[in-house]
Amino acid sequence: MRRRSSKNRMNLFGDKKVSDEKLLRAFARGNADAFEVLYRRHKQAVYHFLFRQMDKHSVCEELAQDAWMAVIRQAGQYENSARFKTWLFRIAHNKLIDYWRRQKHRSKVSVVDEIDQLAVTQDRSDESLQLKELSKQLNELAPEQLSTLLLKIEGFSYNEIADITEAKKETVKSRLRYATKHLRLSMEAAL
């Protein structure tokens, strides 16, 4: 039986039909190509999740790297009780919480760079002011509310957010309700 070349294996894993969970199992069995596909699929989302909660690129890169290293170390222990993406975001979330505990303070929230840059470059002063106000209001949210809101925006279900943040589903709903209510009222008052 002929062995597939590295390029052929990469094409097989590059197929969107291969689930993250199958890729992780393949990596746990020693297939580095499978990890590369997982990393490419999720590196941006993990980084942006972290960056939206703090505005220090270097720290976000370090936390994201720490999360991926934890995936590498724990790949063989992964149990299919949650989607890979949920598991990955729980690891990233925990790295962020640990960082905040060590620092004893929270960094400022960053509104997505691309939107802010668009508002500035296209001379949309009203939109720029709204983005600055939104950033200010996001900074006033409790860290748990902010994480919950960002995870919901990322597309996670209430159950998945509960799993990632290690909170009860009702707590997740409550945090999301408080966060959206605060933002809505604050933005209405500011504008």
Domains in the chain, CATH or no CATH each: 1-110 (1.10.1740.10), 123-191 (1.10.10.10)
In this structure, are residues 34 and 23 in contact, taking their beta carbons and an 8 Å threshold? yes
Q: What value does the mean pLDDT take over residues 11-19?
A: 68
Structural tokens at position 114: 């691309």
Structural tokens at position 49: 């999740």
Prediction pTM value: 0.75
Q: Any idea what the Cα angle at residue 95 is, between residues 153 and 39, rounded to 5°?
A: 70
pLDDT band at 174 (very low <50, low <70, confident <90, very high): very high
pLDDT band at 117 (very low <50, low <70, confident <90, very high): very low
Rounded distance between C-alpha atoms, residue 11 and residue 179, angstroms: 42
Cβ of 2: how many Cβ atoms within 10 Å? 4
Work out the mean pLDDT of the chain and round it to a whole number.
82
- Of 18-27, 117-126, 140-149, the poorest mean pLDDT is in 117-126
How large is the angle between the packed helices 32-51 and 57-74, nearest 10 degrees?
A: 140
Q: What value does the mean pLDDT take over residues 28-56?
A: 93
Structural tokens at position 28: 């746990």
What's the pLDDT score for residue 115? 44
Q: What value does the mean pLDDT take over residues 10-20?
A: 68
